[in-house]
Structure 1
């Protein structure tokens, strides 16, 4: 479907780095084929991260996001809130839905990728808002609505049943996904951590084994249409 070069692809992520974790390969492939790709990050903000003890500003996070997306070939991105990291659930759901509605109306995507909900409060809040905004209504036709993975969904989160799955064969381009993750310098973890660059590649290898290829990204279909 990406090979037409005519798709308008919207990726909505809770935080900067989630877009690479879930869709790094997709972003690179879609952009290289000439599709119009837009990435929306829901929440950034000045935060002291437990893994490093370092306080990171919203401006640093935005710079890392820009570096990662430019490396993957994507130049169209925006941040919904630059002062709400880890407190997205404190925003009234109506306000989140309204912001996403505005983005959908202005960008008019043919495909939308949203986060699979995890234990994290921001991921849950964004997922619920996306589902409300993507409700069936006249004048809104999407070829595909799918969820991308956040590796920590493995931590005791109820599985969403009755979804089909899609795999994107990454091949050697998996290294570009890993390198894009490294652009998020403030987020880099110890090699043993589940979202370290090393384990991002291992996760892609695991999904590749499920699909008979070396490396892959996995997506969960919420809605798909044939035109």
Structure 2
């Protein structure tokens, strides 16, 4: 079964700027080329201590990176739901009720406002607390109910990042594989390079070689050269 990407309204939930590219960069490029609409709902962004020579990246730097990446991938829109250091890397301290309300109906890019056909979110097995609560909040916001009363996307997928495997209960291999052309993967790498504060040299989970290697592995598992892996949570055919 294949998806006609040209007909889709895709809403991607990213805990932080770069998660959408790490998990869905190839799919974003493939879908936009086909004519899809792509929206990115970031949950939070703030100043970040890191392993760069400077030792930190500022929220101002990261907003500048978002704008470059948005232009590169030609996103239809993007938004940050909980900006600022009081939320960044602290989403596990925000009540689930507030997170779910933003995702479900209060954000400009909420499920109720956009009525997406495809929703993508991080996988709950990530070691990162912001990723975990984002995954759980999206899961709650998309709970089963009467489709006449609440919008239900036809397809709900959890995307993977290489770092997600660093858990003793790491998830099983993805059960949905999206084939990528070489130019889709090249676009994913190019988009990640625009996140200059976040990409690293190998060996690192956010290195170019890691992204290429994971794409080759997922491609091999589906009998093609390159692919991105996803976990299907809902698929209405």
Query: Shorter-chain TM-score: what band?
Result: over 0.9
Q: TM-score scaled to structure 2, two decimals?
A: 0.89
Partner of 1:137: 145
- Residue 158 (structure 1) aligned with residue 159 (structure 2): no
Pick from 169, 179, 185 the counterpart of residue 179 of structure 2: 169
* Structure 1 runs not aligned, ≥5 long: none
Partner of 1:212: 223
Whole-Å Cα distance in 2 between the matches of residues 52 and 206 of structure 1? 32
* Structure 2 runs not aligned, ≥5 long: none
Q: Do 1:69 and 1:180's aligned partners in 2 also have CA atoms closer than 8 Å?
A: no
- State the secondary structure of the residue aligned to 1:112: strand
Shift in Å at residue 54 of structure 1?
3.0
- Kindly report which structure 2 residues correspond to 1:57-68, keeping only aligned pairs within 5 A, or say none: 57-68=58-69
Shift in Å at residue 71 of structure 1?
1.2
Shift in Å at residue 194 of structure 1?
1.9
Q: Do 2:8 and 2:37's aligned partners in 1 also have CA atoms closer than 8 Å?
A: yes
Judged with a 3 Å threshold, the aligned counterparts in structure 2 of structure 1 residues 18 and 164 are, in CA distance, closer, same or farther, namely closer
Whole-Å Cα distance in 2 between the matches of residues 33 and 171 of structure 1? 13
Partner of 1:88: 91
Partner of 1:13: 14
Shift in Å at residue 66 of structure 1?
2.0
Partner of 2:40: 39
* Number of equivalenced pairs: 225
Shift in Å at residue 199 of structure 1?
1.5
Shift in Å at residue 69 of structure 1?
2.7
Partner of 1:195: 206
- Kindly report which structure 2 residues correspond to 1:66-85, keeping only aligned pairs within 5 A, or say none: 66-83=67-84, 84-85=87-88
- Which region of structure 1 is more displaced relative to structure 2, 139-148 or 2-11? 2-11
Pick from 89, 105, 113 the counterpart of residue 106 of structure 1: 113
- State the secondary structure of the residue aligned to 2:197: helix
- Which region of structure 1 is more displaced relative to structure 2, 58-67 or 143-152? 58-67
Q: TM-score scaled to structure 1, two decimals?
A: 0.93
Q: RMSD in angstroms over aligned alpha carbons?
A: 1.7
Whole-Å Cα distance in 2 between the matches of residues 68 and 52 of structure 1? 23
Judged with a 3 Å threshold, the aligned counterparts in structure 2 of structure 1 residues 27 and 126 are, in CA distance, closer, same or farther, namely same
Shift in Å at residue 157 of structure 1?
4.5
Whole-Å Cα distance in 2 between the matches of residues 143 and 73 of structure 1? 23
Whole-Å Cα distance in 2 between the matches of residues 20 and 164 of structure 1? 17
- State the secondary structure of the residue aligned to 2:175: strand
